[in-house]
Structure 1
Amino acid sequence: MLKEFENYLVQEGKSVNTIKSYLLHIGNYFIWYKGSFGEQPTKLFRQNVLEYKTYLQNVKKESGRTINSKLSALIKYNEYLQDKEIQDDIVLSKKDNIKIQTEFASPATVGKQEVETFRQSILKHEGNRNYAVVTIMAYAGLRISECLNLKLNDINLTSKEIVVKEGKGNKQRLVYINSKIVEAVKEYLKERKEVECDYLFVSNKGNKIDRTVINKLFNKYSNKITPHTLRHFYCSNALESGYSVHEVANQAGHSNIHTTLLYTNPTKEKMKSKAELL
């Protein structure tokens, strides 16, 4: 059943990470169901799904965001079962999600000095290729997958533009870049191997870089900065530098403007400083 569900998600054009996440969550639901009822589910029942939600809340003590991610997978699985005419009723929807109060403090947890120190460590110890990767992520706001999927003809150093062709949800966007990125990529291209691979960033073997290589880089040089926090930094830094909310949403590829609005909030440090004034 999971294999057919996987094929359904692939046909829908879901990203590799989204598919992995959905399959993991549905697999865990199957495990819970068999442990509870001694058999594998053939369809979804609302009562079972609500029991599972209660189990995640009260037994597993999982966060609201984690539970909502698992419910989203079940919503998609419900859609798949309907599409395959295995069942005809909708047993859950987004209305069943746990309501989460959004934190007022900005998601940006690292400042410019920390980012610059991190970039300099990469430049000194890991070379021009990896330095260019983290510079694009920090100052163009690309997701790690978007950065590593860039092709040579996706970046124009003269016009200072990057075309992100494989964004989240397969949405294409144009991102404007600064001189930091231009110079970093120029230096990398001087030493890039002459290989048939048309990806911008290639491994020593001439293939596309695996994201685990870059993740290890972050783990090695920082216990605070991750690919995701660099994206947060980009959004906050862009707003503080004069970008409008809509401009940041467009550049970062946010499908929902409310995601971008989070970055208009004060940082946690600023909130704490204000608290001392009370």
Structure 2
Amino acid sequence: MKNKIKIIDAKNIYFEKIIYQLKERTKKGYSRAIDLFIKFALEHRNKYLDDVSIEEVRTFLNELATSTSKQYANKVYSIVKSFYQKLSDYNYYQGIIPFKPYMLFKLEKKVKYYLQDNEIQRIINLYNRKIERSKDPFPYLRNKVIFLILLTSGLRCNECLNLKINDVDLKNKTILIRNTKTYKERLVPINQNILEEIKKYLEIRSLNNKWDTDSLFFSDKNKIYKYDSFRRSLYRIAIKLKVNKNHKLFPHNLRHKFASDWIKYNSNMFKLKVILGHSSIKTTEIYVNISDADICEENKNGKIKNVSKYKY
């Protein structure tokens, strides 16, 4: 007789022995999704993993899609299916996996928002005004440099915020990314114009480094400048400048903009995959946005001008 595993025990095993190396933020997202499933299962008197039937999974996903969204239900589907699959792969579970492909909801393809060049220039201009007029220009110059690094190098925001001062090689014009989502170090090039902005920042940084930290970026209140702090600063900028119709701007929008511009000007998907730190080219393809207008312009003019088009 096969060993039965309680759902609660399965979650503990999954987090403590299988995905313990993942980032805390990722694990929190997984935990929320799995907890929703566990709550549903226990309410339906399913104490063990293999007690949950295929029909019950369909009911769970349908209810979740109604109370949240189809998109989120699909996300939970992927997380909990992987939860089952990994437990099976590691021989903690020998039952069926009740999550089937046909359970995924079909989603309407929405046109993704990509930052426009004129919006980017307006944001840079706003940073410059703040730096010039403020008695304490440090936070504005710091945020400007973070913004420019994300825009021109394709780093994930947390990769940028976790940089150490020695990770920036001014001589060879590269940034070494150590703390990555895939746990693989990589080098990315720095635009010469951005290099000059980093040098300006380093001068002011040395005057504000109260804690003698080796972190490239830090806040006024603690040693670490956190993702949410930078995200909120972008949110305020988006509202002030009325960026996109929803007045929303996230750090990841800058990574998407970099990827689209890279393909537009360089047309090499495989190099882009390495720069973005993706393990699969399929992930890279999601980031790319080439409009009909871009294609027409390239066909008309040949190679499009270099990506260095902003005044810093």
TM-score, with structure 1 as normaliser: 0.82
Aligned to 2:61: 53
Q: Alpha-carbon deviation of 1:99?
A: 6.8
Letter in 1 for 2:150: M
Aligned to 1:211: 227
- The answer on whether the counterparts of 2:273 and 2:284 sit within 8 Å (CA) in structure 1 is yes
Q: Alpha-carbon deviation of 1:143?
A: 1.0
Provide closer, same or farther for how the CA distance between residues 6 and 96 of structure 1 changes in structure 2, counting only shifts above 3 A: farther
- Distance in 2 between the 1:112 and 1:124 partners? 19
- Distance in 1 between the 2:119 and 2:34 partners? 39
Q: Alpha-carbon deviation of 1:183?
A: 1.6
> Paired residue for 1:256, among 271, 276, 280?
280
Provide closer, same or farther for how the CA distance between residues 90 and 180 of structure 1 changes in structure 2, counting only shifts above 3 A: farther
- Distance in 1 between the 2:292 and 2:249 partners? 16
Letter in 2 for 1:201: F
Structure (1 or 2) with the larger CA radius of gyration? 2
- The answer on whether the counterparts of 1:30 and 1:41 sit within 8 Å (CA) in structure 2 is no
- The answer on whether the counterparts of 2:173 and 2:191 sit within 8 Å (CA) in structure 1 is yes
Which 5+ residue runs of structure 1 have no aligned equivalent? 272-278
Q: Alpha-carbon deviation of 1:254?
A: 2.2
Provide closer, same or farther for how the CA distance between residues 19 and 178 of structure 1 changes in structure 2, counting only shifts above 3 A: same
Aligned to 1:62: 69
Between 212-221 and 65-74, report the one with greater CA deviation.
65-74
Aligned to 2:127: 122
Q: Alpha-carbon deviation of 1:113?
A: 1.6
Q: Alpha-carbon deviation of 1:15?
A: 1.6
> Paired residue for 1:224, among 237, 248, 268?
248
Letter in 2 for 1:132: V
- Greater RCO between the two (CA within 8 Å, min separation 6)? 1
Provide closer, same or farther for how the CA distance between residues 85 and 244 of structure 1 changes in structure 2, counting only shifts above 3 A: closer
- Distance in 2 between the 1:209 and 1:183 partners? 22
- The answer on whether the counterparts of 1:152 and 1:198 sit within 8 Å (CA) in structure 2 is yes
> Paired residue for 1:153, among 157, 162, 166?
166
Provide closer, same or farther for how the CA distance between residues 167 and 87 of structure 1 changes in structure 2, counting only shifts above 3 A: same
> Paired residue for 2:187, among 163, 174, 178?
174
- The answer on whether the counterparts of 2:64 and 2:73 sit within 8 Å (CA) in structure 1 is yes
SS in 1 for 2:67: coil
TM-score, with structure 2 as normaliser: 0.74
- The answer on whether the counterparts of 1:104 and 1:262 sit within 8 Å (CA) in structure 2 is no
Give me the identity figure in percent.
24
Deviation string 1:193-243 (CA, Å, 9 cap, x unpaired) is 343322110112450111111011011001232111111100011122224
- Distance in 2 between the 1:94 and 1:171 partners? 32
1:20 aligns with 2:28: yes
Provide closer, same or farther for how the CA distance between residues 102 and 269 of structure 1 changes in structure 2, counting only shifts above 3 A: farther
Between 167-176 and 227-236, report the one with greater CA deviation.
167-176
Aligned to 2:197: 184
Between 255-264 and 94-103, report the one with greater CA deviation.
94-103
- The answer on whether the counterparts of 2:182 and 2:277 sit within 8 Å (CA) in structure 1 is no
Letter in 2 for 1:115: I
RMSD: 2.9
Which 5+ residue runs of structure 2 have no aligned equivalent? 1-7, 131-138, 239-246, 296-312
